[in-house]
């Protein structure tokens, strides 16, 4: 159920990309204007993710997920039936609300409902839903959108959200998530604050990579849309084994993984931006970035759940917000770098962000380890 929940939420975000041209044409606006719909949903999701802990601590996670899935299904229906660009914008506000709720509550549920030994496995399975939306869902959307862009909303996001809603409704109830305050309180812990800063910087680098990877391939090699789609799908496919293979070490070595994978991502993205010997060589480099992204995302999520185990809902709300704000920051800074020095400069900028995201974890490893910490909650 958590896999389908995050699949539905992520597909609701991703579906806009292949539909932009059709939306712009029907409503007689520029593609750039239509692209601002993603900004609307992203900002809404970030704000809602930070607000979820204010009410979530008093509600059961199953109830929160049911509410979020209901809003998501309604947002997809409203998007498919939108009579104007303004109506579609309003539907994207609802989409952002649903995404902020579902990603925060879904990752919290994966951490809360599992035992200490099984937490990494359940988190891994849930997070694979997001990558699967990219690899499986978007090709389906691309096919149906050739008939009518409105079908894109119902082909994957609506169908999957309804399936997840049925499973959540039929599933067992759950206790309210552990809570010991809101966002400000959880961020008073310097370890949690450092983790959040690292997530914001790393997510900005990762989001910037995703935003401009397709354009790099298309402009560097005069590649067709089909070729660009295949390259991006290879990166998404590589994300899955990166997530799966690293989970056995996540509980005890999360910080080590974040440091190593962050530095490896920094090096690889610089190569991706600066070295372009052929389309399939660039595709292979992007697949390496996807693999590293899968492992880094799981380790970062697991670390946040471990550091804020008395208020995981707030921590996962922070994580969701860093991802949404990361898209805005990565796209903005990446655009400036691209305009100033082309794709090599973009690679250097994104690599710098990855390195900056590692620094809070390096600092944390230099602090004295707490005494008498239980082994099940210790994260190095």
Given 123, 147, 177, which residue is the final one in a domain? 177
CATH of the domain at 72: 1.20.1250.20
Give yes or no: residues 135 and 185 share one domain.
Answer: no
Contact 95, 68 (CB under 8 A): no
At 305-348, the pLDDT tens digits run 889 877 888 888 899 889 889 888 888 898 889 889 999 999 99
Give yes or no: residues 201 and 294 share one domain.
Answer: yes
Given 177, 192, 227, which residue is the final one in a domain? 177
Predicted local confidence at residue 55, as pLDDT? 67
Give yes or no: residues 64 and 140 share one domain.
Answer: yes
The two tokens of residue 316 are 């996962």
Residues 318 and 305: their CA atoms lie apart, in Å, by 11
Residues 6+ apart with CB under 8 A from 301: 107, 123, 127, 316, 319
Full DSSP string of 263-323: HHHHHHHHHHHH--S-HHHHHHHHHHHHHHHHHHHHHHHHHHHHHTTTSHHHHHHHHHHHH
Instruction: Give me the domain span that covers residue 301.
Output: 181-380
10 Å CB burial of residue 322 (0-12, 13-18, 19+) is buried
Give yes or no: residues 363 and 238 share one domain.
Answer: yes
* Rg of the chain (C-alpha set): 20
Give yes or no: residues 187 and 172 share one domain.
Answer: no
The two tokens of residue 220 are 């560097």
Residues 92 and 98: their CA atoms lie apart, in Å, by 10
**Residue in 171, 172, 120, 102 with CA at minimum distance from that of residue 316:** 102
Predicted local confidence at residue 352, as pLDDT? 98
Other C-beta atoms closer than 10 Å to the C-beta of 193 total 15
Full DSSP string of 156-207: IIIHHHHHHHHHHHHSPP-PPPP-SS-HHHHHTSHHHHHHHHHHHHHHHHHH
Predicted local confidence at residue 30, as pLDDT? 82
Give yes or no: residues 143 and 203 share one domain.
Answer: no
Give yes or no: residues 196 and 314 share one domain.
Answer: yes
Predicted local confidence at residue 375, as pLDDT? 35
Predicted local confidence at residue 58, as pLDDT? 63
Predicted local confidence at residue 279, as pLDDT? 93
In the chain, the number of structural domains is 2
Given 124, 155, 177, which residue is the final one in a domain? 177
Give yes or no: residues 151 and 200 share one domain.
Answer: no
Give yes or no: residues 74 and 210 share one domain.
Answer: no
Predicted local confidence at residue 108, as pLDDT? 81
Give yes or no: residues 186 and 93 share one domain.
Answer: no
Three-point CA angle 148, 152, 158, nearest 5°:
140
Q: Tokens 């995302």 — which residue?
A: 297
Other C-beta atoms closer than 10 Å to the C-beta of 256 total 15
Residues with pLDDT less than 50, the chain = 180, 369-380
Helices (H), 15-82: 16-27, 31-56, 61-80
Predicted local confidence at residue 98, as pLDDT? 94
Q: Is 153 helix (H, G, I), strand (E, B) or coil?
A: helix
Residues 270 and 339: their CA atoms lie apart, in Å, by 16
DSSP state of 371: T
Give yes or no: residues 301 and 368 share one domain.
Answer: yes
Give yes or no: residues 296 and 362 share one domain.
Answer: yes
**Residue in 326, 294, 289, 313 with CA at minimum distance from that of residue 127:** 294
Provide the sign of the torsion angle of the four alpha carbons 149, 294, 119, 41, taken in this order: negative
């Amino acid at each position: 159920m958590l896999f389908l929940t995050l699949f539905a939420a992520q597909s609701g975000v991703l579906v806009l990309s292949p539909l932009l041209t059709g939306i712009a044409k029907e409503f007689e606006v520029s593609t750039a204007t239509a692209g601002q719909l993603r900004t609307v949903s992203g900002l809404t999701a970030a704000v809602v993710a930070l607000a979820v802990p204010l009410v979530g601590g008093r509600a059961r996670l199953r109830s929160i997920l049911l509410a979020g899935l209901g809003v998501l299904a309604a947002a997809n229906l409203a998007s498919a039936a939108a009579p104007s660009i303004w109506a579609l914008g309003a539907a994207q506000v609802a989409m952002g609300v649903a995404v902020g709720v579902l990603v925060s509550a879904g990752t919290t549920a994966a951490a809360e409902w599992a035992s200490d030994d099984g937490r990494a496995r359940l988190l891994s399975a849930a997070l694979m839903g997001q990558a699967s939306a990219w690899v499986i869902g978007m090709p389906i959307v691309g096919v149906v959108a050739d008939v009518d862009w409105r079908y894109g909303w119902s082909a994957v996001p609506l169908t999957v959200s309804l399936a997840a809603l049925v499973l959540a409704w039929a599933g067992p109830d759950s206790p309210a998530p552990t809570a010991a305050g809101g966002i400000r309180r959880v961020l008073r812990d310097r370890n949690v604050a450092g983790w959040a800063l690292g997530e914001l910087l790393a997510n900005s680098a990762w989001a910037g990579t995703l935003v401009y990877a397709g354009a790099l391939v298309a402009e560097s090699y005069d590649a067709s849309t089909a070729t660009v789609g295949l390259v991006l799908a290879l990166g998404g496919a590589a994300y899955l084994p990166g997530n799966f293979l690293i989970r056995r070490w996540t509980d005890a070595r999360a910080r080590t993984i974040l440091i190593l994978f962050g530095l490896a991502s920094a090096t690889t993205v610089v190569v991706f931006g600066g070295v372009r010997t052929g389309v399939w060589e660039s595709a292979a480099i992007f697949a390496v970035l996807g693999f590293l992204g899968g492992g880094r995302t799981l380790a970062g999520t697991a670390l946040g759940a471990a550091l804020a185990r008395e208020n995981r809902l707030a921590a996962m709300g922070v994580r969701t917000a860093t991802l949404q704000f990361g898209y805005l920051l990565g796209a903005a800074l990446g655009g400036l770098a691209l305009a100033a020095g082309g794709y090599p400069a973009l690679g250097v900028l994104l690599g710098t962000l990855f390195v900056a995201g590692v620094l809070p974890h390096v600092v944390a490893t230099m602090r004295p380890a707490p005494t008498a910490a239980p082994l099940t909650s210790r994260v190095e």
